[in-house]
Structure 1
């Protein structure tokens, strides 16, 4: 039985609301956490929620550690006299959370940066070059932040992160730590696959010396969460969330403008359903700030709220580039399995939890929580949250997305949310359940990086 009326479903398949709102967000430019563009993004989002018929719309401000990008460079010299200096933005970018520092040392290629790669390499006093790839046979996701932490733990003086996901002179950005007390320990840059290919040619002929320089500043900044509600005036509530911030080098269309506007579209469809039949449970739509640099917005929300009143969270991140869904989390998965009957694409579910995603502050506090991403290709494809090919690069632009996918995704997302609203009593998530789904290697990293919550 569908929990959405035919009228609401029909409206969803004609809607341009999410796409129009995404166009507004991507006109802003940089929406970097704690900076003016993020503030403008929160304002645009709240105005969109009000147009969609939600109420109690507002923005909450809080302080975070801010990071502002300057210029970066990487100069390499091979033993045979060859060498180059890379300093253009399409070649090398400082990574948020890096300290402003210059180091000179021998460079070592650490491959994919798996734990065994770091164990095999002698990085003490050297600069580590590490690929962004996540080998499918490794058995778990391994994030850039973990690779950076392992490089520092191994004694590296610098960190060079290679975009192995896309060609075309596209260096990656992305935070290198969720430290809440200042920048990380070693300077870090992202480089394109083409720059890495040249360095590897040099390394094939002998040793390479590199001078890595990052210019940046850090300090206190103001971050914002934007939200509104639909449904009853009080009682338990469901969270439908995305994050409005994006990296400063691009429009942030996929990561995560798409997730934010789809959360707003779910709220709009539920407002229509509420007008027809009423919702049994209050739904709060939230666009968090500061996700990219430390899950700051979601952590702040979870710390300030009465979570005994929250029955579940549906987080949208890395979504919108296909109509096929990958739903990962603990609890609520059966709602999406049932919602596949309303979807034009497929819905795959998996029982897991990610410490690099806005569902982490909730699931580790006992809230049934899932995070929904798009997926493409065959069964077993590794889904990178928001970082498949274009995420975290200057190529994360609106033209990579299609409004038809947004309409196709909004219906099952709203259906699953409406189903939870009709029966808002999922089992809470206990600590042993979270521990069970975190691979030991990932738990090891979280412990030595100070991010293990238990």
Structure 2
């Protein structure tokens, strides 16, 4: 049975509080890390915290490496002359440097390590192009940062990241993380443009080097890399305990999109769960600390700031929400913290709701800043039939893709779970850094080291 009173569950199922907040965040538009829209989004979250009667609501500022988009273009010369301009056709990837390069394109397929190795001799001085897809035979998702890093390590002078989902939408996404700016210019293009480039590249492979039929591509990337600041939006509900259950999401999104599901929905859910728990505040036995992080998309900066400025013994556990409104079917990645999975299983059982779980330690999402230190933390999202990120990281991550009923259902389940984590009946043991390091799958060790994100001393 649910532990929350029926009145709270009923409130969750009928209130427009979360959807109104999500709508306002989407209407901000560009919430790119370190830019004005991100701060406006965080301020709107603070307003929601205050409307919900939460205490200690405010902004926590920190420094980040900022990135501002300029205009980018891609042109093809040879037997076919094509020009791709405008953000609907070609977009720079955050973390890229400015620059212009001209070279032949080498298509490395899905950009696995094996595919890069197979075409290693051709990549020196070329522009590498890789799909956003990951082969079904692969044991884990391949991040674009790995593909970018592999391109640079194999001597490529530029990188093209092509969407594997049709719809003429170029994907964006960070390629530098904490190693900005990256070494070579990088852009995203749609599946359709990528298919054209792949066809031109395949045709060029049958020609003599330097011949009249040779096809070359010119990448022209304009952007700005400079220091700036980001903010976390924080508040508390429950008793004044030193220890706290953290409920988190990220408020920033990429500048080309409204960031409705990634991650306006998560930010709205954090505030909504805080509002629901306010009505049962006297029943909470542990403080719940709400944080909507800044600068997740560009390197988990807000999460790292929180993890580095909070004594770890004061963090009971972390429930992180990201991409949690694509459906009402909850997914929890436990990162090996089985007790947290068990709590969510008991919650979905109580509500007769579906739940998908995974226990692999994953470095993707704000929870990673805590997991790497041994702090119990889960990634909470929803499942859908879309491949990869779906509409995420494209112009199409808009409010019309989401359903307010899904948001209400997820809010109900997460509120119940956080209520249980904040009780004396649930203990979430921490682990040591050494134990976490030992249990990270080999593939993710490879990714973290390739991208310069490995947090442990060798």
- The TM-score range, normalised by the shorter chain, is over 0.9
Distance (Å, rounded) in 1 between the aligned partners of 2:450 and 2:67: 23
Look up the match of 2:178.
Answer: 179
2:320 aligned with 1:315: yes
Quickly say closer, same or farther: Cα 1:170–1:420, change in 2 above 3 A: same
The aligned residue for residue 440 of structure 2 is: 438
Equivalent in 357, 362, 366 of residue 349 of structure 1: 357
The unaligned stretches of length 5 or more in structure 1 are none
Q: Any idea what the Cα deviations from partners look like across 1:236-262, whole Å, max 9, x if unmatched?
A: 100000000001111110110011111
Q: Aligned runs of 1:35-74 on 2, under 5 Å?
A: 35-74=35-74
- 1:223 maps to 230
| Worse-superposed segment, 194-203 or 123-132 | 194-203
Answering whether residue 240 of structure 2 is matched by residue 241 of structure 1, we say: no
> CA, structure 1 residues 76+438, in 2 after alignment: closer, same or farther (shift >3 Å)?
farther
For structure 2, which runs of at least 5 residues remain unmatched after alignment? 206-214
Q: Report if aligned partners of 1:33, 1:293 keep a CA contact under 8 Å in 2.
A: yes
CA-CA distance at 1:202 after TM superposition: 1.6
SS class of match (1:130): strand
User: Is residue 2:19 matched to residue 1:14?
Assistant: no
TM alignment of 1:36-435, pairs within 5 A: 36-78=36-78, 81-122=79-120, 123-165=123-165, 167-180=166-179, 182-207=180-205, 208-274=215-281, 277-330=282-335, 331=337, 332-343=340-351, 345-377=353-385, 384=388, 387=389, 389-422=390-423, 423-435=425-437
Secondary structure class of the residue paired with 2:422: helix
Equivalent residues of 1:45, 1:226 under 8 A apart: yes
Quote the RMSD (CA, aligned, Å): 1.5
Alignment check: 8 A CA contact 1:101 1:215 kept: yes
Shift in Å at residue 307 of structure 1? 1.6
> Whole-Å Cα distance in 1 between the matches of residues 31 and 399 of structure 2?
15
Per the alignment, in what secondary structure is the counterpart of residue 214 of structure 1? strand
In 1, Cα distance between equivalents of 2:216 and 2:381: 40
How many Å separate the matches in 1 of 2:346 and 2:417?
8
How many correspondences in the alignment? 441
Give me the whole-angstrom Cα distance separating, in 1, the residues matched to 2:113 and 2:296. Answer: 25
**Alpha-carbon offset, residue 432 of structure 1:** 4.6
Q: Distance in 2 between matches of 1:75 and 1:25?
A: 36
TM-score by length of 1: 0.94
Q: Which moved more, 1:171-180 or 1:221-230?
A: 171-180
Aligned partners of 1:433, 1:375: CA distance in 2, in Å? Answer: 29
3-state DSSP class of the match of 2:283? coil
**CA displacement, residues 115-164 of structure 1 (integer Å, 9 cap, x when unaligned):** 11111112111111100012232011111111111111111111100111
Is 1:91–1:192's contact at 8 Å kept on the other side of the alignment? yes
Q: Note closer, same or farther for the CA distance 1:75–1:51 as it changes in structure 2 (3 Å cut).
A: same
The C-alpha deviation readout for 1:155-197, integer Å capped at 9, x for no partner, is 11111001112x22110111112125x3111100000111011
Per the TM alignment, residue 85 of structure 1 is displaced from its structure 2 partner at its CA by 1.3
Q: Does the CA-based 8 Å contact 1:97-1:175 persist in structure 2?
A: yes
Give the structure 2 partner of residue 32 of structure 1: 32
Q: What secondary structure does 1:175 align onto? A: coil
